[in-house]
Amino acid sequence: MRIAETKELHHRYGAVQVLENVSLAIDSGHLVGLIGPNGCGKSTLMKILAGLIRNHGGEVLVDGKPVGPESKAAVSYLPESTYLAEWMRPKDTLDVFTDFYADFDRVKAEGMLKRFKIPDKSIRTMSKGTQEKLQLILVMSRRAKLYLLDEPLGGIDPASRAVMLDIIMSSYSEDSTIVISTHLLHDVERVFDRVLFMKDSRIIVDSDVDTLRAQTGCSLEEHFVSLYTDMAEGGAL
């Protein structure tokens, strides 16, 4: 079943073209890497699929429906920045998600809070890594069809990245699809079965991982470096 599809999608912020003629089709049951340097359009694409940006051109379907209330119900979205109030404790965040999302599995969330040792204290007193883990647990505890995770591994230490991947993989089911946007491939490339590489507002590679590795003879990280060598030399990565 196709969970997300775009045709000739384009979007701009003022005079800046952020997405240009982006066409893709993602089926259910996949772990997809949305790969590219900062500023290439990954976050904008995520927000459009999540229904947060509507003034775009082209066609977008999520779970077979145009973006709207029905499609949003199928999506669980993790933004790049934390949006939880600093005064909240974990129980407060569970209350909010229980009220807002009919598909929120509170028992699952409570189990993951214990498993990953999230402390019972206010968010303002948590480390950045712990805040990220809490927010990811909330997002992954919904029974969604499409999980959109925007740079979940950015700005945290390697040990925290390993825990974040554990949270993601412990929540994955073959009936759902997870799309992870990142420019940090070393810790995460092993989990992907499909990748989309973006550059200059476009998708330049759309491939399953095994095929790409066979064609290039290198890892995803090595292929990333080869694709963006000119940017890396200029310090853009």
**129-161 confidence digits (pLDDT tens):** 899 999 999 999 999 999 999 998 877 777 888
Half-sphere CA count of 88, side-chain side, radius 13 A: 16
At 54 the three-state DSSP class reads coil
What CATH number is attached to the domain comprising 140?
A: 3.40.50.300
- For 70-91, the pLDDT digits (tens) are 899 999 999 988 889 999 999 9
Residues spanned by the domain of 132: 2-233
Instruction: Supply the pTM of this predicted model.
Output: 0.92
139: enclosing H helix or E strand: helix 128-140
- List pLDDT tens digits, range 198-229: 998 999 999 999 999 999 999 998 988 888 87
- CA distances for 132 relative to 121, 136, 148, 151, 188, angstroms: 14, 6, 15, 11, 16
Measured between alpha carbons, how far is residue 12 from residues 38, 45, 47, 108, 231 in Å? 16, 11, 13, 39, 22
Look at 234 and 193; give whichever has higher pLDDT.
Answer: 193
Q: How many domains does the chain have?
A: 1
In this prediction, residue 185 carries a pLDDT of: 84
- Cα dist. 174→31, 83, 204 in Å? 9, 29, 27
